[in-house]
Amino acid sequence: MQQHIQPLFEGPIDIVADIHGEISALECLLERLGYTPDGRHPGGRRLVFLGDLVDRGADSPAVVERVADMVLADRAQCILGNHELNLLRGQKKEGNGWFHPEADDHDLASGHFRESARATDAQRKHFLAWFDTLPVALERDDLRVVHACWEPQAIEALRSSRQPVSQAYRTFTDDISSLLERSGRAEQRRRELAEWDGMLTDPSAVVPMLEGIAAIDAIKQSSHPLKAATSGLEGQAPFPFFATGKWRMSERVAWWNEYDDERAVVFGHYWRWPLAEEEATARARGPNLFAGSGPFDWLGPRRNAMCIDWCVGLRWKERLAGAIAPEGRLGALRWPEREIVLDC
């Protein structure tokens, strides 16, 4: 049976998050960390990948094959990210056209991701089967790792589930939908959508705070254990804002500011650096969650929470712009040393 929360490797490890198909960055980083291409390390260190192996970058299939081979050889561990979860759910998102066989895929037709290597039929089948076996978080006495958020209620719900990820996702979704229908919130949201239909995708529209939409969006995100762990928590925004093609009523929450456990926690997901504050705000669907902290600072009241996503997922955009030296970097956190190593 599936165990969504599994033991983390003992001994020294190197933790890597959010590769996003950037195989060259991964190869460079592994070399700088002292690993051979197949994941061996002379000092006995092992790798831990925090999900989002795929999408946007030049060769997602190569990244998945490389990481999966190291996991199979017990030289690495890997947990599920929201981008892998999207593929399991059959969701077409920005940058994941490499996975979908349709000839008119919007990502490739738009030209934004023409450089992305495409998956073969055999790879698609293999990748989905492997993603469905990945744990959602790992832990040991001194350290926890998760893709986006360590939220105690979500973690405990995941501990109790023994279903494969794809099936567990549907079970959690159905449970929340039933609860929302009984509460009356779902009906309120339907009325708001009917009244404001057409305006919610218009950036020039004047849209008020829609309480039903705000409440349900936040509940569907934060109360869904798999969504919370892989995409983080959300709460009602102070005012509506337009992002990623529609008016939004809820925004991401910097959960690590409330993380007060003794065990350190390491995560990715949230683009941390080198984005300017205004760009980070636009792309993060709300406020800059790292305002006031440096790119390599430990976070939270105990200074034992660390986000290690330094925006290598922007490199596709930097290449389109003709950037000579990319700002987005792939990095690793060495534990227990707490040393950060960046790719070339």
**DSSP assignment of 207-270:** ----HHHHHHHHHHHHTSHHHHHHH--EEEEEEEEEETTEEEEEEE--GGGG---SSEEEE--S
Q: Looking at the DSSP assignment, which residues form a beta bridge with residue 46?
A: 13
* 308/327 Cα distance (integer angstroms): 15
Position 314 pLDDT exceeds 60 = yes
Vertex 215: Cα angle to 212 and 219 (nearest 5): 135
**CATH 1.20.1630.10 is the classification of domain 5-162+255-342:** no
pTM: 0.93
Instruction: Give the mean model confidence (pLDDT) for residues 158-174.
Output: 96
Q: What is the pLDDT of residue 280?
A: 54
Please, which pLDDT band fits residue 203 given cuts at 50, 70 and 90?
Answer: very high
Tens digit of pLDDT for each residue in 66-114? 999 999 999 999 999 999 999 999 998 889 999 998 744 444 545 677 7
Q: How many CB atoms lie within 10 A of CB 141?
A: 8
The mean predicted confidence, pLDDT, of the chain is: 91
Tens digit of pLDDT for each residue in 245-274? 889 999 999 999 999 999 999 999 999 866
Q: What is the pLDDT of residue 105?
A: 47
Q: What is the pLDDT of residue 58?
A: 94
Higher pLDDT, 292 or 113: 292
**Secondary structure percentages of the chain, helix, strand, coil, to 5:** 40, 15, 45
What are the domain boundaries of the chain? 5-162+255-342
